[in-house]
Amino acid sequence: MSDVANVDQAELWDGHEGAHWSKHADVYDASLREHLTHLLEVAGIQPAEAVLDIGCGNGTSTLDAARTASRALGVDLSSEMLARARGAAEAEGLTNVSFVQADAQVHRFEPDAFDIAISRFGVMFFADPVAAFTNIGRALTPGGRIAWIIWRSLPENEVFSEIRRAIAVGRDLPEPAAGAPSPFGLADPGFTQQALSASGFVDIAFEARNAPYYAGTDADRAYGFLSTLGFTRFATQDLDDADQTRAFDALRATIDAHETPDGVVYDSACWLVTARRPPG
Protein backbone atom coordinates (compact mmCIF):
# COMPACT_ATOMS: atom_id res chain seq x y z
CA MET A 1 0.00 0.00 0.00
CA SER A 2 1.54 3.30 -1.10
CA ASP A 3 0.56 6.95 -0.56
CA VAL A 4 -0.67 6.75 3.02
CA ALA A 5 -1.60 10.00 4.78
CA ASN A 6 -3.47 8.44 7.70
CA VAL A 7 -0.54 6.50 9.12
CA ASP A 8 -2.04 5.85 12.55
CA GLN A 9 -5.30 4.62 11.05
CA ALA A 10 -3.44 2.41 8.60
CA GLU A 11 -1.60 0.77 11.50
CA LEU A 12 -4.87 0.20 13.36
CA TRP A 13 -6.92 -1.08 10.45
CA ASP A 14 -4.17 -3.16 8.92
CA GLY A 15 -3.53 -4.44 12.45
CA HIS A 16 -5.76 -5.41 15.35
CA GLU A 17 -8.85 -3.43 14.27
CA GLY A 18 -8.93 -5.08 10.86
CA ALA A 19 -8.21 -8.45 12.47
CA HIS A 20 -11.17 -7.99 14.83
CA TRP A 21 -13.51 -7.04 11.98
CA SER A 22 -12.30 -10.01 9.97
CA LYS A 23 -12.65 -12.48 12.85
CA HIS A 24 -16.14 -11.22 13.71
CA ALA A 25 -17.31 -10.48 10.15
CA ASP A 26 -20.63 -12.26 10.58
CA VAL A 27 -21.44 -10.37 13.78
CA TYR A 28 -20.52 -7.01 12.27
CA ASP A 29 -22.66 -7.73 9.21
CA ALA A 30 -25.60 -8.70 11.42
CA SER A 31 -25.14 -5.65 13.65
CA LEU A 32 -25.15 -3.28 10.66
CA ARG A 33 -27.60 -5.12 8.40
CA GLU A 34 -30.50 -2.69 8.73
CA HIS A 35 -28.19 0.30 8.40
CA LEU A 36 -26.86 -1.14 5.14
CA THR A 37 -30.43 -1.60 3.91
CA HIS A 38 -31.08 2.09 4.60
CA LEU A 39 -27.87 3.06 2.79
CA LEU A 40 -28.63 1.07 -0.35
CA GLU A 41 -32.19 2.37 -0.39
CA VAL A 42 -30.97 5.98 -0.38
CA ALA A 43 -28.10 5.28 -2.81
CA GLY A 44 -30.50 4.06 -5.49
CA ILE A 45 -27.75 2.35 -7.50
CA GLN A 46 -28.68 1.78 -11.14
CA PRO A 47 -27.55 -1.10 -13.42
CA ALA A 48 -25.38 1.10 -15.64
CA GLU A 49 -23.58 2.82 -12.77
CA ALA A 50 -20.05 2.41 -11.43
CA VAL A 51 -19.77 2.39 -7.63
CA LEU A 52 -16.88 3.34 -5.34
CA ASP A 53 -17.16 1.92 -1.80
CA ILE A 54 -15.04 3.77 0.78
CA GLY A 55 -13.95 1.76 3.82
CA CYS A 56 -15.48 -1.40 2.39
CA GLY A 57 -14.19 -3.71 5.14
CA ASN A 58 -15.03 -7.35 4.51
CA GLY A 59 -16.78 -6.37 1.28
CA THR A 60 -20.43 -6.90 2.14
CA SER A 61 -21.53 -3.44 0.99
CA THR A 62 -19.38 -3.66 -2.15
CA LEU A 63 -20.83 -7.02 -3.13
CA ASP A 64 -24.36 -5.75 -2.55
CA ALA A 65 -23.61 -2.80 -4.83
CA ALA A 66 -22.00 -5.02 -7.48
CA ARG A 67 -25.12 -7.19 -7.74
CA THR A 68 -26.94 -4.15 -9.14
CA ALA A 69 -24.22 -1.94 -10.67
CA SER A 70 -22.14 -2.33 -13.80
CA ARG A 71 -19.02 -2.47 -11.63
CA ALA A 72 -17.93 -1.77 -8.06
CA LEU A 73 -14.58 -0.98 -6.46
CA GLY A 74 -14.07 -1.44 -2.72
CA VAL A 75 -11.30 0.47 -0.92
CA ASP A 76 -9.99 -0.24 2.56
CA LEU A 77 -6.83 -0.03 4.69
CA SER A 78 -7.09 -3.61 5.95
CA SER A 79 -5.34 -6.36 3.97
CA GLU A 80 -7.03 -9.03 6.10
CA MET A 81 -10.54 -7.76 5.46
CA LEU A 82 -9.84 -7.26 1.76
CA ALA A 83 -8.70 -10.88 1.50
CA ARG A 84 -12.08 -11.94 2.92
CA ALA A 85 -13.84 -9.60 0.48
CA ARG A 86 -12.03 -11.03 -2.53
CA GLY A 87 -12.76 -14.56 -1.36
CA ALA A 88 -16.46 -13.78 -0.99
CA ALA A 89 -16.61 -12.25 -4.48
CA GLU A 90 -14.86 -15.26 -5.98
CA ALA A 91 -17.13 -17.70 -4.13
CA GLU A 92 -20.18 -15.92 -5.52
CA GLY A 93 -18.72 -15.67 -9.02
CA LEU A 94 -19.00 -11.87 -9.17
CA THR A 95 -16.66 -10.63 -11.88
CA ASN A 96 -17.64 -6.95 -11.90
CA VAL A 97 -16.15 -6.21 -8.48
CA SER A 98 -12.58 -5.45 -7.41
CA PHE A 99 -10.82 -4.32 -4.25
CA VAL A 100 -7.77 -2.19 -3.53
CA GLN A 101 -5.85 -1.59 -0.33
CA ALA A 102 -5.47 2.18 -0.20
CA ASP A 103 -5.88 5.35 1.81
CA ALA A 104 -8.83 7.07 0.10
CA GLN A 105 -7.58 10.46 1.30
CA VAL A 106 -4.65 10.35 -1.12
CA HIS A 107 -5.16 7.36 -3.44
CA ARG A 108 -4.91 8.25 -7.13
CA PHE A 109 -8.37 7.21 -8.25
CA GLU A 110 -9.18 7.36 -11.92
CA PRO A 111 -10.82 10.78 -12.35
CA ASP A 112 -14.48 11.07 -13.31
CA ALA A 113 -14.80 7.28 -13.14
CA PHE A 114 -17.63 6.58 -10.68
CA ASP A 115 -21.27 7.59 -10.63
CA ILE A 116 -21.63 7.18 -6.86
CA ALA A 117 -19.41 6.77 -3.81
CA ILE A 118 -21.02 4.85 -0.97
CA SER A 119 -19.76 4.12 2.52
CA ARG A 120 -21.07 2.02 5.38
CA PHE A 121 -19.42 3.70 8.39
CA GLY A 122 -16.07 4.02 6.62
CA VAL A 123 -15.47 7.77 6.17
CA MET A 124 -15.12 8.97 9.78
CA PHE A 125 -11.43 8.21 10.21
CA PHE A 126 -9.64 10.70 7.95
CA ALA A 127 -7.07 13.03 9.51
CA ASP A 128 -8.07 15.67 6.94
CA PRO A 129 -11.71 15.19 5.93
CA VAL A 130 -11.66 18.03 3.40
CA ALA A 131 -8.65 16.56 1.60
CA ALA A 132 -10.25 13.11 1.66
CA PHE A 133 -13.65 14.26 0.45
CA THR A 134 -12.04 16.37 -2.28
CA ASN A 135 -10.07 13.35 -3.47
CA ILE A 136 -13.20 11.17 -3.48
CA GLY A 137 -15.07 13.92 -5.35
CA ARG A 138 -12.47 13.92 -8.13
CA ALA A 139 -13.19 10.23 -8.68
CA LEU A 140 -16.87 10.97 -9.36
CA THR A 141 -18.35 11.91 -12.69
CA PRO A 142 -19.65 15.48 -12.97
CA GLY A 143 -23.01 15.36 -11.23
CA GLY A 144 -21.97 12.16 -9.45
CA ARG A 145 -23.24 11.63 -5.95
CA ILE A 146 -22.37 10.24 -2.53
CA ALA A 147 -24.48 8.20 -0.13
CA TRP A 148 -22.81 7.61 3.22
CA ILE A 149 -24.01 6.26 6.53
CA ILE A 150 -22.21 7.57 9.61
CA TRP A 151 -22.83 7.40 13.34
CA ARG A 152 -24.69 10.17 15.11
CA SER A 153 -23.33 11.34 18.45
CA LEU A 154 -22.21 8.93 21.14
CA PRO A 155 -25.05 9.84 23.57
CA GLU A 156 -27.62 9.12 20.83
CA ASN A 157 -26.22 5.61 20.30
CA GLU A 158 -27.42 3.28 23.01
CA VAL A 159 -24.97 0.53 22.09
CA PHE A 160 -21.93 2.77 22.52
CA SER A 161 -23.20 4.89 25.40
CA GLU A 162 -24.17 1.77 27.40
CA ILE A 163 -20.73 0.21 26.84
CA ARG A 164 -19.03 3.49 27.70
CA ARG A 165 -21.03 3.90 30.90
CA ALA A 166 -20.23 0.36 31.97
CA ILE A 167 -16.48 0.51 31.40
CA ALA A 168 -16.04 4.05 32.76
CA VAL A 169 -16.08 2.68 36.37
CA GLY A 170 -16.62 6.18 37.69
CA ARG A 171 -14.27 7.98 35.32
CA ASP A 172 -15.34 10.97 33.23
CA LEU A 173 -14.34 9.67 29.82
CA PRO A 174 -13.93 12.42 27.21
CA GLU A 175 -16.05 12.39 24.09
CA PRO A 176 -14.21 12.54 20.75
CA ALA A 177 -13.94 15.98 19.17
CA ALA A 178 -15.75 16.79 15.93
CA GLY A 179 -13.54 15.94 12.99
CA ALA A 180 -11.09 13.82 14.98
CA PRO A 181 -10.63 10.36 13.44
CA SER A 182 -13.04 8.13 15.37
CA PRO A 183 -16.40 6.43 14.89
CA PHE A 184 -18.01 9.78 15.84
CA GLY A 185 -15.72 12.04 13.83
CA LEU A 186 -18.56 13.16 11.53
CA ALA A 187 -21.42 12.98 14.05
CA ASP A 188 -21.79 16.78 14.12
CA PRO A 189 -23.78 17.58 10.97
CA GLY A 190 -22.57 21.19 11.03
CA PHE A 191 -18.95 20.08 10.85
CA THR A 192 -19.65 17.46 8.19
CA GLN A 193 -21.69 19.83 6.03
CA GLN A 194 -18.91 22.40 6.19
CA ALA A 195 -16.28 19.79 5.25
CA LEU A 196 -18.33 18.53 2.31
CA SER A 197 -19.06 22.04 1.10
CA ALA A 198 -15.36 22.96 1.32
CA SER A 199 -14.65 19.82 -0.74
CA GLY A 200 -16.87 21.06 -3.57
CA PHE A 201 -20.06 19.09 -2.90
CA VAL A 202 -23.53 20.58 -3.26
CA ASP A 203 -27.07 19.54 -2.36
CA ILE A 204 -25.81 18.19 0.97
CA ALA A 205 -28.51 16.54 3.06
CA PHE A 206 -28.72 14.60 6.32
CA GLU A 207 -31.43 12.16 7.30
CA ALA A 208 -31.55 10.72 10.82
CA ARG A 209 -32.22 6.99 11.01
CA ASN A 210 -32.23 4.51 13.87
CA ALA A 211 -31.81 0.75 13.62
CA PRO A 212 -31.28 -2.20 15.96
CA TYR A 213 -27.69 -3.19 16.61
CA TYR A 214 -27.40 -6.96 17.03
CA ALA A 215 -24.40 -7.78 19.22
CA GLY A 216 -24.76 -11.55 19.23
CA THR A 217 -27.20 -14.43 19.30
CA ASP A 218 -26.91 -14.68 23.09
CA ALA A 219 -25.19 -12.94 26.00
CA ASP A 220 -22.09 -15.13 25.94
CA ARG A 221 -21.42 -14.50 22.26
CA ALA A 222 -22.22 -10.79 22.61
CA TYR A 223 -19.80 -10.48 25.51
CA GLY A 224 -17.05 -12.14 23.48
CA PHE A 225 -17.67 -9.60 20.74
CA LEU A 226 -18.26 -6.37 22.67
CA SER A 227 -15.55 -6.95 25.26
CA THR A 228 -12.93 -7.08 22.49
CA LEU A 229 -14.05 -4.06 20.46
CA GLY A 230 -11.40 -1.43 19.92
CA PHE A 231 -13.85 1.01 21.57
CA THR A 232 -13.76 -1.18 24.70
CA ARG A 233 -10.10 -2.06 24.59
CA PHE A 234 -8.89 1.54 24.36
CA ALA A 235 -11.05 2.67 27.28
CA THR A 236 -9.90 -0.11 29.62
CA GLN A 237 -6.23 -0.57 28.74
CA ASP A 238 -4.96 1.73 31.50
CA LEU A 239 -7.13 0.32 34.30
CA ASP A 240 -5.60 -1.78 37.05
CA ASP A 241 -6.73 -5.36 37.51
CA ALA A 242 -9.43 -4.55 40.05
CA ASP A 243 -10.98 -1.79 37.94
CA GLN A 244 -10.75 -3.92 34.79
CA THR A 245 -12.74 -6.62 36.60
CA ARG A 246 -15.33 -4.05 37.67
CA ALA A 247 -15.53 -2.64 34.15
CA PHE A 248 -16.03 -5.99 32.43
CA ASP A 249 -18.52 -7.15 35.08
CA ALA A 250 -20.53 -3.98 34.39
CA LEU A 251 -20.27 -4.62 30.65
CA ARG A 252 -21.61 -8.13 31.13
CA ALA A 253 -24.49 -6.73 33.17
CA THR A 254 -25.60 -4.38 30.40
CA ILE A 255 -25.31 -7.19 27.85
CA ASP A 256 -27.47 -9.44 30.02
CA ALA A 257 -30.02 -6.62 30.32
CA HIS A 258 -30.28 -6.37 26.50
CA GLU A 259 -30.62 -10.08 25.81
CA THR A 260 -33.88 -10.90 24.02
CA PRO A 261 -35.29 -14.02 22.34
CA ASP A 262 -33.84 -12.58 19.10
CA GLY A 263 -30.37 -12.04 20.53
CA VAL A 264 -28.62 -9.16 22.29
CA VAL A 265 -30.08 -5.98 20.81
CA TYR A 266 -29.31 -2.30 21.35
CA ASP A 267 -30.58 0.80 19.58
CA SER A 268 -28.19 2.67 17.32
CA ALA A 269 -28.42 6.01 15.54
CA CYS A 270 -26.93 7.22 12.27
CA TRP A 271 -26.99 9.94 9.66
CA LEU A 272 -27.62 9.12 6.04
CA VAL A 273 -25.59 11.72 4.18
CA THR A 274 -26.18 12.53 0.53
CA ALA A 275 -24.55 15.11 -1.73
CA ARG A 276 -23.35 15.46 -5.29
CA ARG A 277 -20.49 16.82 -7.31
CA PRO A 278 -21.62 19.82 -9.35
CA PRO A 279 -22.31 18.98 -13.00
CA GLY A 280 -20.15 20.41 -15.75
Could you tell me if residue 228 is inside a domain? Answer: no
Which CATH number fits the domain that encloses residue 56? 3.40.50.150
- At residue 76, does pLDDT exceed 90? yes
The overall average pLDDT reported for the chain is 95
Could you tell me if residue 248 is inside a domain? Answer: no
Q: What value does the mean pLDDT take over residues 172-179? A: 83
pLDDT band at 172 (very low <50, low <70, confident <90, very high): confident
Q: What is the pLDDT of residues 19-56, one digit of tens each?
A: 999 999 999 999 999 999 999 999 999 999 999 999 99
Q: C-alpha distances in angstroms, 193 versus 42, 67, 116, 148?
A: 18, 31, 18, 13
Q: What is the per-residue pLDDT for 176? A: 78
Q: What is the per-residue pLDDT for 43? A: 98
Distance CA 66, CA 46 (A): 10
Could you tell me if residue 244 is inside a domain? Answer: no
Q: What is the pLDDT of residues 111-166, one digit of tens each?
A: 999 999 999 999 999 999 999 999 999 999 999 999 999 999 999 999 999 999 99
Could you tell me if residue 225 is inside a domain? Answer: no
Distance CA 47, CA 265 (A): 35
3-state secondary structure of 140: strand
Lowest mean pLDDT, pick from 53-62, 84-93, 232-241:
232-241
- At residue 244, does pLDDT exceed 80? yes
Q: What is the pTM of this model?
A: 0.96
Could you tell me if residue 146 is inside a domain? Answer: yes
Could you tell me if residue 117 is inside a domain? Answer: yes
Residue 76's domain comprises 7-154+176-215+268-276
Say how far residue 93 (Cα) sits from the centre of its chain.
25
Distance CA 55, CA 119 (A): 6
Domain total of the chain: 1
Q: What value does the mean pLDDT take over residues 190-213? A: 98
Distance CA 11, CA 6 (A): 9
Q: Indicate if the alpha-carbon torsion angle 44, 50, 53, 56 is positive or negative.
A: positive
Could you tell me if residue 102 is inside a domain? Answer: yes
Could you tell me if residue 247 is inside a domain? Answer: no
